[in-house]
Amino acid sequence: MRRTTEPDPAALWWQGAVFYQVYVRSFADSDGDGVGDLEGIRSRLGYLELLGVDALWLTPFFRSPMADHGYDVADPRAVDPLFGDLAAFDRLVADAHAHGIKVTVDVVPNHSSDQHPWFQEALAAPPGSRERARYFFRDGRGPDGAQPPNNWTSVFGGPAWTRARDGQWYLHLFTPRQPDLNWDNSEVRADLVGTLRFWLDRGVDGFRIDVAHGMAKPAGLPDMPAYLIGITGAQAHPAEDPRFDNEDVHEVHRLIRKVADEYPGSMAVGEIWVESDERFARYVRPDELHLGFNFNLVAADFDADAVRRAIDHSLTAAGQSPPTWTLSNHDVSRHVTRYGGGDLGVRRARAMALVQLALPGVAYLYNGEELGLPDVALPDWALQDPLWERSGHTDRGRDGARVPLPWEGSEPPFAFTEGDKTWLPMPPEWAGLTVEAQLEDPDSMLSLYRQALELRKTHAAFSGGELEWYGAPPGCFAFRRKGGGLICALNTSGAPVPLPPGEILLSSAPVSDTELPPETSVWLV
């Protein structure tokens, strides 16, 4: 399908869409091995339709030795047997479309797996070879080359360089099993184009670009400032970090956009961890990515001023592209836990769900947040995230936010799997949080999401891309969607405040006609 005319409005489906991130390992398991898979997702499409989401983002299900749970890709155009096969993928796409749900997939251009044939060839080839030129192989420093080529550290802890048998070093911004690809290399670029076309030809509706601020590296690979050394985990990178956000990365995004433009209705969203709004905006220029993930809401505490600042920054950073809103994903602590956990965390999470879903633009939900799942405090023996080992057991990593979803029943594995084990242990306390337990309960988190998504989709008050702020008491804010007129008010202060005038559409907790209680938000028209 090549574009011949101007895009029709249906091609812009993503502009106000609600995406649902399926962390494939943890959503639903169809074959009893305790790890989620593509057939598992397909079996739960009815649930996703009922929830009311427009599109899925599937985390990597490609052939991988799973050193970083699939973000180490050995073949980007094959399904890992753990998750199914291409036929299962085709069935999933066809059925999702039949349910009115779009499908987007993750691509990981910054690095490959060490088991990728290219990297195996590079290890076997001599320094200076064409095989090594697809990655970053360099001689070390010091008289015998025993020091890494520069001082860069890995995002997962430890040096960003590992020494190959013949003495050269190779670069990996993540684990040593995720060597960074060299984006100056034409074969690397051509391969990504091939991967994008491969999935588009199979019917996918778009992509999430992993580490979209990575790829390009500065000439000469200069040292990083000392204060950044050893910082681990997902966070925004400042301009002076030479590992990320280099100018040439925009060539990669123009390449991705060109391919997407050949398939009307397809889109790409980038994972962009950069500090400044101005730098962020460059990724979503008209000839680059359609959307960028900003993580301002993830970084904001439950505090009206902080949330308002996060919203304003996100709107500025998005430039002409629709802003995106994320409260949680598979790399960060779940927001129920970030907001204090327990009943307080849930109450605040409910309030923030209505803030997120009132905002103009695109919302990304992370599987399980519609159930109000908290992080799980996993025992040491259960931890699998490479961050835990790489950080020398100082950073417990991201497993706590990746525990499989509870579907039905009163004890683990809550129908996540028919087997008796799950890849991360599920807590018995989740009995009250299953889909089954929440579906018919009008006060549940799941019911709140269903009502909010339904209103967002059908009510005219949600139209229009601009918002204006109202004056509000300390610890509170209120904004209005300029087009449709929806008002969203949030109270993060410790006391009730007067409710703004209007008819109540939905509230995160019971409200009277006159007062907005603490830790509560409301939608009014």
Please, which residue, 221 or 234, has the CB nearer to ligand GLC?
A: 234
CB neighbours of residue 466 within 10 Å = 10
Please, which residue, 293 or 414, has the CB nearer to ligand GLC?
A: 293
429 secondary structure, DSSP code: G
| Annotated catalytic residue within 68, 106, 210, 399 | 210
Which residues inside 115-134 make contact with ligand GLC, applying CB under 6 A?
Answer: none
Shortest Cβ 151–ligand GLC spacing (Å): 21
Shortest Cβ 106–ligand GLC spacing (Å): 8
Shortest Cβ 109–ligand GLC spacing (Å): 10
Number of helices (H), then strands (E), in the chain? 15, 20
Contact of 141 with 168, CB cutoff 8 Å: no
CA–CA gap between residue 132 and residue 126 (Å, rounded): 8
Please, which residue, 57 or 302, has the CB nearer to ligand GLC?
A: 57
159 secondary structure, DSSP code: B
Please, which residue, 394 or 512, has the CB nearer to ligand GLC?
A: 394
CA–CA gap between residue 27 and residue 369 (Å, rounded): 12
Question: Could you identify the residue written with the tokens 């890849």?
Answer: 423
Indicate whether 210 belongs to the interface with ligand GLC (CB under 6 A).
Answer: yes
Shortest Cβ 459–ligand GLC spacing (Å): 33
Question: Could you identify the residue written with the tokens 């991967």?
Answer: 195
Please, which residue, 112 or 520, has the CB nearer to ligand GLC?
A: 112
Q: Is 54 a residue of the active site?
A: no
Q: Which of 51, 103, 105, 211 binds ligand GLC (CB under 6 A)?
A: 211
Closest to 352 measured CA to CA, from 312, 404, 363, 407: 363
Please, which residue, 119 or 174, has the CB nearer to ligand GLC?
A: 174
Give the N- to C-terminal CA distance of the chain in Å, as an integer: 42
Closest to 444 measured CA to CA, from 354, 379, 364, 372: 372
Which residues inside 229-248 make contact with ligand GLC, applying CB under 6 A?
Answer: 234
Contact of 111 with 171, CB cutoff 8 Å: no
Q: Give the nearest residue (CB) to ligand GLC.
A: 71
Please, which residue, 177 or 456, has the CB nearer to ligand GLC?
A: 177
Contact of 402 with 425, CB cutoff 8 Å: no
Please, which residue, 311 or 332, has the CB nearer to ligand GLC?
A: 332
Indicate whether 108 belongs to the interface with ligand GLC (CB under 6 A).
Answer: yes
Shortest Cβ 25–ligand GLC spacing (Å): 11
Indicate whether 315 belongs to the interface with ligand GLC (CB under 6 A).
Answer: no
Shortest Cβ 439–ligand GLC spacing (Å): 30
Q: Is 210 a residue of the active site?
A: yes
Q: Which of 14, 19, 27, 71 binds ligand GLC (CB under 6 A)?
A: 71
CA–CA gap between residue 23 and residue 402 (Å, rounded): 8
Shortest Cβ 68–ligand GLC spacing (Å): 5
Shortest Cβ 73–ligand GLC spacing (Å): 9
Output the six-digit token pair for 270.
């980038």
CA–CA gap between residue 305 and residue 311 (Å, rounded): 10
Q: Are strands 291-293 and 324-326 parallel, antiparallel or unpaired?
A: unpaired
Q: What is the contact mask toward ligand GLC in residues 254 to 273, using x (rule: CB under 6 A)?
A: -----------------x--
Which string of DSSP letters, residue by residue, matches 183-206?
A: TT-HHHHHHHHHHHHHHHHTT--E
Contact partners, residue 336, CB within 8 Å, separation at least 6: 345, 346, 348, 349, 369, 372, 373, 374, 375
Judged by CB under 6 A, the number of residues near ligand GLC is: 10
Contact of 375 with 339, CB cutoff 8 Å: no
Please, which residue, 78 or 525, has the CB nearer to ligand GLC?
A: 78
Question: Could you identify the residue written with the tokens 């601020």?
Answer: 213
Which residues inside 276-295 make contact with ligand GLC, applying CB under 6 A?
Answer: none
| Annotated catalytic residue within 223, 261, 262, 443 | 262
Indicate whether 67 belongs to the interface with ligand GLC (CB under 6 A).
Answer: no
Q: What is the contact mask toward ligand GLC in residues 329 to 368, using x (rule: CB under 6 A)?
A: -xx-------------------------------------
222: three-class secondary structure by DSSP:
coil
Shortest Cβ 316–ligand GLC spacing (Å): 23
Q: Which of 37, 39, 68, 369 binds ligand GLC (CB under 6 A)?
A: 68
Count of alpha carbons within 13 angstroms of residue 374, beta-carbon side: 20
CA–CA gap between residue 422 and residue 406 (Å, rounded): 11
Shortest Cβ 211–ligand GLC spacing (Å): 5
Strand partners, 58: 22, 105
CA–CA gap between residue 180 and residue 188 (Å, rounded): 11
Which string of DSSP letters, residue by residue, matches 372-428?
A: TPPP----GGG---HHHHHTTSSS--SGGG-PPPP-SSSSTTTTS-SSS--SSPPPG
Q: What is the contact mask toward ligand GLC in residues 173 to 192, using x (rule: CB under 6 A)?
A: -x------------------
Please, which residue, 168 or 367, has the CB nearer to ligand GLC?
A: 367
Active site residues: 210, 262
Using CB under 6 A as the criterion, which residues of the chain lie in contact with ligand GLC when the complex forms?
68, 71, 108, 174, 210-211, 234, 271, 330-331
